[in-house]
């Protein structure tokens, strides 16, 4: 036996898949937190920050989680893409 | 037995020990020994053949070896045994937690003992040794050294570990035979007084002594690695082209040097408090918070001691299958050094709820947030490496990618804990358990698996079964995320850690808590199945996997990624064929495994 190379896939696609998975996990996470929070003692009615205030429901929290994590990691992803374009051989 | 009797016994044992030491110095002229050249780098051909002659056969070889590769294998085997023990303890705990009331274990104290044994075993007997396995085997090869700087100290450091493990686990073995001992030590891995002082169970003392031994072992190893990396590098290995794995091990060794001796001293104080009525950690003496300061001044660096070399492995292996070199190598090294320095300035983030001075708290919060930056820099560089690469998704690579994604989740949850207002709510809940397991299982263990698969052809001379390896990866990835994700949710629901039961809950979302516990247990069983497959694959492939005849089994030359250790392997294969003309079967070493190194 000599070679073990499996077929190659593009790094960009892999990174985007990881990104999508983590955002999906964040949505699931938000949904579950939206589920457990109201059951706690003296839990608040509403959540959010600034002008974005909403009721604590699984759906709202899923969107909240996905948007937050998506934006945060999205900005980092764009930054990373820009850096690697600028310094392709670093 | 009266107190005089005990003193007499102590003196007798002391005399016996001195006698043994004297006898050992008489027995042999130790100075006549020359460390065996490891056949690294240039030492091929004649040199290796000569080594073979000097190595005794069978078990004696393993008991007397000072060859860094053999010692690496010993560390690896040891770590595997510890992993099995710690893993089974975890499985028992998770099985117990599948139901709300006590159903599997005899009493809650057994649960506490399992919890303690799991934590201590995984951190000190699995985590640190598995990293030492990699650094022992590969650093001399990577830096073109003949062996470690002090080969015999290397062997001593390893041989301190088995007695350490026996002492740490002793409570479980001895308890069935004596009234005095109830079960294993049940102090939790943090050993906080007053609990750890007041527990009369002697297995706590044995555990502390065993821990002390493992600390001495780690310190000796660290000194050895620092000396080796500083002074044994080959001619063409300078600081500028030192590989990333050696950089992380060098930094790790520095951390060990400052952290472990402190733990050793603190343990001694605890032993004195337990047995000789000193008051180091008693309220009328130093106070219980003193222990927490000392313990976490060790404990936080310890988590980086555990994570830096795995980061090195990922930084090393990831580029190999991305077809491009590590992005921003220099910054990865700088961030390693930055983590090394900063990790000594964050310990009190484990003590936010203890009532320490709020001004102190704030400064520790600031440094804790700052330490996330170098970790983020590394992640950034890994992702960039992937981004422009073309990836070959074989098992080592899958584990590297799994490392990155789990480390992101573990790191982000950690940053939240570092914020005081959030920590006040989440401290001592399952959220913390979820956070650090994302790092220790999801990242550290994954990097270990990546390294074990990546170098498997080199240390066994054989190839593993790839389908089983993929099963191992996916079961581990799904199991980890199921188990620890559920724990994070449990934390949000307010469920506190270190409880054996949860019947009689009246506050909180009871059904969600039950469901999450069951999800975590399910995940743990997926992990168990995955690891059984892994052990089976490793052992059976070692015995009769296909032999590797190509010095570059990963085809690294294609992308210009072939590194020093594979070049060494290629030379070794060449000399094997030249000297024993492809002899059929190698003599079996102990354990029925073909001798894996120096078969030339
Ligand atoms: C990204 C940077 C990190 C930050 C900001 C961070 C922060 C924290 C904080 C604040 C706690 C205390 C939580 C509490 O008890 O209330 C904690 C606990 C813990 N962290 Fe992290 N962490 C980070 C990375 C890591 C890494 C890399 C590891 C492991 C290698 C780790 C392992 C642990 C462990 C073992 C505990 C729990 C100790 C215990 O109470 O038993 N953390 N972390
Ligand atoms: Cu910490």
pLDDT digits (tens, 9 = 90+) for B332-389: 999 999 999 999 999 999 999 999 999 999 999 999 999 999 999 999 999 999 998 8
- Shared domain check, B207 and B268: yes
Nearest CA to B265 out of B280, B282, B245 is that of: B280
- What confidence tier does B34 reach under pLDDT thresholds 50, 70, 90? low
In the reported structure, the alpha carbon of residue B190 is separated from the centroid of ligand 1 by a whole-number distance in angstroms of 13
Report how far residue B8's alpha carbon sits from residue B2's, in angstroms, rounded to the nearest whole number. Answer: 10
Q: Is the separation of the CB atoms in B167 and B159 below 8 Å? A: no
A36 inside domain? yes
Q: Over pLDDT 70: what percentage of chain B?
A: 91
- Which residues constitute the domain of residue A37? 10-86
What are the pLDDT digits (tens) for B243-296? 999 999 999 999 999 999 999 999 999 999 999 999 999 999 999 999 999 999
Is residue B404 less than 8 Å (CB to CB) from chain A? yes
The three-class DSSP label of residue B391 is strand
Q: Which residue has the higher pLDDT, A52 or A9?
A: A9
Residue B2 is predicted with a pLDDT of: 60
For strands A46-49 and A52-55, give the pairing. antiparallel
For chain A, the domain total comes to 1
Q: Which residue has the higher pLDDT, B216 or A44?
A: B216
- Shared domain check, B421 and B299: no
In the reported structure, the alpha carbon of residue B572 is separated from the centroid of ligand 2 by a whole-number distance in angstroms of 43
Report how far residue B272's alpha carbon sits from residue B360's, in angstroms, rounded to the nearest whole number. Answer: 30
B37 inside domain? no
**Token code pair at residue A47:** 């959540």
Alpha carbon distance, N-terminus to C-terminus of chain A: 35
Report how far residue B155's alpha carbon sits from residue B525's, in angstroms, rounded to the nearest whole number. Answer: 36
**Token code pair at residue B371:** 């330490």
Best-predicted range by mean pLDDT among A65-74, B179-188, B308-317, B357-366? Answer: B308-317
pLDDT average, residue stretch B522-533: 97
Nearest CA to B412 out of A16, A26, A27, A36 is that of: A26
Q: Which residue has the higher pLDDT, B550 or B51?
A: B550
Range in A37-46, B151-160, B522-531 with the lowest mean pLDDT:
A37-46
pLDDT average, residue stretch B150-158: 96
A4 inside domain? no
- What confidence tier does B36 reach under pLDDT thresholds 50, 70, 90? low
- Shared domain check, B575 and B527: no
- Shared domain check, B575 and B518: no
The ligand 1 site (C-beta within 6 Å) comprises B 190, 303, 306-307, 349-350, 368, 371-372, 375, 411, 414-415, 417-418, 423, 427, 432, 435-436, 439-440
A74 inside domain? yes
Nearest CA to A63 out of A37, A31, A32 is that of: A31
- What confidence tier does B494 reach under pLDDT thresholds 50, 70, 90? confident
Q: Is the separation of the CB atoms in B303 and B435 below 8 Å? A: no
pLDDT average, residue stretch B474-500: 94
pLDDT average, residue stretch B3-13: 82
B120 inside domain? yes
For chain B, give the mean pLDDT: 89
Query: Model pTM?
Result: 0.88
Residue A20, C-beta contacts closer than 8 angstroms, at least 6 positions apart? none
Nearest CA to B225 out of B125, B132, B310 is that of: B132
Alpha-helical segments (H) within B56-148:
58-64, 68-97, 108-120, 128-142
- Shared domain check, B557 and B484: no
Residue of B nearest to A88 (CA): B388
Restricting to A residues 19-58, those with a Cβ less than 8 Å away from any Cβ of B are: 21-22, 25, 29, 32-33, 35-37, 39-41
Cα A37 from chain centroid? 20
- What confidence tier does B21 reach under pLDDT thresholds 50, 70, 90? confident
- What confidence tier does B583 reach under pLDDT thresholds 50, 70, 90? very low
Nearest CA to B402 out of B456, B440, B442, B359 is that of: B442
Q: Is the pLDDT of residue B559 over 70?
A: yes
Mark which of B314, B348, B371 sits at the end of a domain: B314
Distance from CA of B481 to the nearest CA of A (A): 10
B306 inside domain? yes
Mark which of B261, B286, B314 sits at the end of a domain: B314
Residue B229 is predicted with a pLDDT of: 96
Residue B47 is predicted with a pLDDT of: 40
B427 inside domain? yes
For chain B, the domain total comes to 3
- What confidence tier does A52 reach under pLDDT thresholds 50, 70, 90? confident
In the reported structure, the alpha carbon of residue B12 is separated from the centroid of ligand 1 by a whole-number distance in angstroms of 45
What are the pLDDT digits (tens) for B166-209? 999 999 998 888 877 888 899 999 999 999 999 989 999 999 99
- Shared domain check, B265 and B147: yes
pLDDT average, residue stretch B45-57: 52
Q: What are phi and psi of B597, to 5 degrees?
A: -130, 160
DSSP code at position B392: E
Is residue B393 less than 8 Å (CB to CB) from chain A? yes
Residue A6 is predicted with a pLDDT of: 58
- Shared domain check, B150 and B133: yes
B54 inside domain? no
- Which residues constitute the domain of residue B572? 553-581
B14 inside domain? no
- Shared domain check, B523 and B455: yes
Residues written for chain A: 90
What are the pLDDT digits (tens) for A8-27? 888 999 999 989 998 998 89
- Shared domain check, B569 and B478: no
Q: Is the separation of the CB atoms in A7 and A57 below 8 Å? A: no
For chain A, give the mean pLDDT: 82
DSSP code at position B127: I
């Amino acid at each position: 036996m000599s070679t073990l190379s499996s077929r190659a896939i593009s790094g960009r696609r892999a990174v985007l898949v990881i990104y999508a998975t983590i955002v999906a996990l964040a949505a699931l996470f938000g949904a579950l937190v939206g589920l457990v929070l109201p059951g706690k003692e003296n839990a608040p009615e509403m959540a959010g920050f600034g002008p974005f205030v909403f009721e604590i429901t699984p759906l709202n929290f899923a969107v909240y989680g996905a948007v937050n994590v998506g934006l945060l990691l999205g900005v980092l992803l764009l930054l990373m893409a820009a850096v690697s374009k600028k310094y392709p051989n670093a | 037995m009266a107190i005089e009797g005990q003193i007499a016994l102590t003196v007798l044992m002391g005399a016996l020990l001195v006698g043994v030491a004297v006898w050992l110095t008489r027995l042999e002229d130790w100075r006549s020994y020359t460390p065996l050249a490891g056949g690294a780098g240039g030492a091929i051909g004649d040199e290796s053949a000569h080594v073979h002659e000097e190595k005794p056969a069978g078990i004696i070889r393993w008991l007397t070896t000072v060859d860094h590769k053999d010692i690496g294998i010993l560390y690896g085997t040891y770590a595997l045994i510890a992993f099995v023990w710690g893993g089974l303890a975890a499985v028992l705990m998770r099985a117990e937690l599948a139901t709300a009331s006590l159903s599997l274990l005899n009493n809650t104290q057994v649960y506490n003992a399992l919890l303690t044994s799991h934590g201590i075993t995984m951190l000190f007997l699995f985590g640190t040794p598995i990293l030492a396995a990699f650094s022992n085997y590969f650093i001399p090869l990577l830096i073109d050294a003949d062996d470690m700087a002090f080969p015999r100290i290397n062997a001593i450091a390893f041989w301190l570990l088995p007695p350490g493990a026996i002492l740490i686990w002793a409570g479980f073995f001895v308890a069935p035979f004596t009234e005095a001992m109830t079960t294993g030590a049940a102090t939790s891995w943090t050993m906080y007084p007053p609990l750890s002082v007041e527990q009369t169970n002697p297995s706590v003392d044995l555990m502390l002594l065993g821990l002390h031994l493992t600390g001495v072992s780690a310190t000796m190893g660290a000194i050895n690695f620092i000396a080796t990396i500083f002074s044994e590098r080959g001619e063409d290995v300078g600081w500028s082209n030192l590989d990333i794995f050696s950089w992380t091990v060098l930094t790790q060794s520095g951390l060990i040097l400052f952290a472990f001796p402190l733990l050793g001293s603190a343990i001694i104080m605890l032993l004195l408090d337990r047995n000789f009525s000193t008051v180091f950690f008693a309220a009328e003496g130093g106070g219980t918070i003193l222990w927490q300061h000392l313990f976490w001044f060790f404990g936080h660096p310890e988590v980086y001691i555990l994570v830096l070399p795995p980061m090195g492995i990922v930084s090393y292996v990831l580029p190999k299958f991305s077809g491009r070199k590590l992005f921003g190598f220099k910054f990865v090294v700088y961030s390693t050094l930055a983590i090394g320095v900063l990790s000594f300035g964050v310990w009190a983030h484990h003590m936010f709820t203890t009532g320490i001075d709020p001004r102190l708290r704030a400064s520790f919060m600031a440094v804790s947030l700052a330490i996330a930056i170098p970790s983020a820099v590394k992640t950034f560089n890994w992702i960039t490496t992937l981004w422009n690469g073309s990836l070959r998704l074989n098992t080592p690579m899958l584990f590297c990618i799994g490392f990155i994604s789990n480390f992101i989740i573990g790191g982000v949850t950690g940053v939240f804990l570092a914020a005081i207002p959030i920590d006040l709510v989440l401290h001592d809940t399952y959220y913390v358990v979820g956070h650090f397991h994302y790092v220790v299982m999801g990242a550290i263990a994954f990097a270990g698996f990546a390294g074990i698969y990546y170098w498997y052809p080199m240390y066994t001379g054989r190839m593993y079964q790839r389908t089983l390896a993929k099963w191992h990866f996916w079961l581990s990835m799904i199991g980890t995320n199921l188990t620890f994700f559920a724990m994070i949710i449990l934390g949000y629901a307010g469920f506190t850690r270190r409880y054996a039961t949860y019947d009689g809950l009246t506050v909180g979302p009871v059904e969600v808590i039950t469901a999450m516990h069951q999800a975590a247990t399910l995940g743990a069983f997926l992990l168990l199945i995955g690891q059984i497959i892994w052990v089976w694959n490793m052992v059976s492939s070692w015995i009769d996997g296909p032999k590797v005849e190509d010095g570059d089994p990963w085809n690294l030359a294609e992308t210009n990624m072939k590194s020093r250790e594979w070049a060494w392997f290629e030379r070794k294969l060449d000399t094997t064929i030249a000297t024993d003309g492809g002899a059929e079967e190698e003599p079996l070493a102990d354990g029925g495994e073909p001798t894996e190194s120096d078969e030339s």
